[in-house]
Amino acid sequence: MDMTYNLNGGFKPTLKRFADLSGPDFFPTPAWATYALADNEHFVGDIWECACGNGSMSKVLEGAARSIVSSDLYDRGYGEAGVDFLEADWCADNIVTNPPYNAAEGFVRKGTRLARRKLALLLRLAFLEGANRANTIFAETPPSRVWVFSERITFYPAGAVRQGSGTTAYAWFVWDKDAPSGTELKWLKPGYKAMHS
């Protein structure tokens, strides 16, 4: 395991996520958080999980689309390694991922260009804030829907013992080329965590 996740000795998931913000930021998404997306968004065509990590999200998405393509900049033992999404020139019907925190804006810009139908990114709810994003991403390419989690997601390094609960609010941000302009704010019903954990 990458020792940067153990800065304080104790297990503090939220702090550990922040400890890695300048690095590759590898925190697998709990399956239930991806089920929540698949239950509420319909995907026509293929899905590209473009920062797939160990495949946590891809494996759930397999039930939600005709085919899944998985890649990551690093070799995490799943999908095609060595593909920098920010430099990629592939297209896909849909692009779905939990991007590295420190490159979220770049993933939005690139993803809105490369996705033929939908781009769905799992981002901190606080991504909605900020003058810079208000003047750029949200002025030029506002998401079609924001699905706010009513349950907290806790991110753990792969293989870590699961304990505690998260303190950061997350949401699925969906850019849908077939949706009318404007942003719809929606809430994910509670229950996904218990159903899929």
In this complex, which beta carbon is closest to ligand SAM, that of residue 143 or of residue 157? 157
Which one of 94, 97, 144, 154 is in contact with ligand SAM (CB under 6 A)? 97
Among the residue ranges 98-106, 123-131, 135-143, 146-154, the one whose residues contact ligand SAM (CB under 6 A): 98-106
What is Dmax (Cα atoms) for the chain?
49
- CB of residue 172 vs ligand SAM: minimum separation in angstroms? 12
CA distance 130 to 68: 33
With beta carbons less than 8 A apart as the criterion, state whether 51 and 103 touch. no
- CB of residue 73 vs ligand SAM: minimum separation in angstroms? 4
Segment 13-72, which members bind ligand SAM (CB under 6 A)? Answer: 24-29, 50-53, 56-57, 72
CA distance 158 to 109: 28
Burial class (CB in 10 A: 0-12, 13-18, 19+), 66: exposed
Which one of 11, 31, 62, 73 is in contact with ligand SAM (CB under 6 A)? 73
* 98 lies in the site for ligand SAM, by CB under 6 A: yes
Per 3-state DSSP, the chain is made up of helix, strand and coil in percentages (nearest 5) of 30, 20, 50
CA distance 44 to 63: 12
In this complex, which beta carbon is closest to ligand SAM, that of residue 113 or of residue 134? 113
* 100 lies in the site for ligand SAM, by CB under 6 A: yes
Tell me which residues touch ligand SAM (CB under 6 A). Answer: 24-29, 50-53, 56-57, 72-74, 76, 84-86, 97-98, 100, 103
